[in-house]
Amino acid sequence: MLDEYANRLKEEPGAVAVIIILPGGKLPFKKAQARALRAIDYLVNERGSDPERIGVMTLKKKRQEFGTELWLCPFFPPEELRGMYDGIVITGKEAKRDLH
């Protein structure tokens, strides 16, 4: 799934990737966020994606089931995402720093 996502990101040079992590079930919030960081690590270090073009948002509220949504957007509006999803937004650049 991430391979196809990385390919689409490369095919659309003006787009940005937004990975939305939806914590739920027995998966704690911190583990859901760790999955988001691993997804960025894979996209940047294994697939060569530009970390400046990747954003991850982890929702604060838990759902019944864990879920992930992968979006390609024409631009990355973190303020709008924060308001719409009541979540925490990190960019690939920030995550790359946190992973090392």
pTM more than 0.85: no
Give the model confidence (pLDDT) of 26-65 as tens digits: 777 777 778 888 888 899 899 999 888 888 777 777 778 8
- For residue 93, give its domain range: 2-99
d(Cα 12, Cα 29) in Å, to the nearest integer?
31
Number of domains in the chain: 1
Residue 98 has pLDDT above 50, yes or no: no
Residue 21: CATH number of its domain: 3.30.1330
Give the model confidence (pLDDT) of 60-95 as tens digits: 777 788 888 888 888 755 555 554 454 555 555 555
d(Cα 44, Cα 96) in Å, to the nearest integer?
8
Is residue 83 a contact partner of residue 60, using CB atoms and an 8 Å limit? no
d(Cα 72, Cα 9) in Å, to the nearest integer?
7
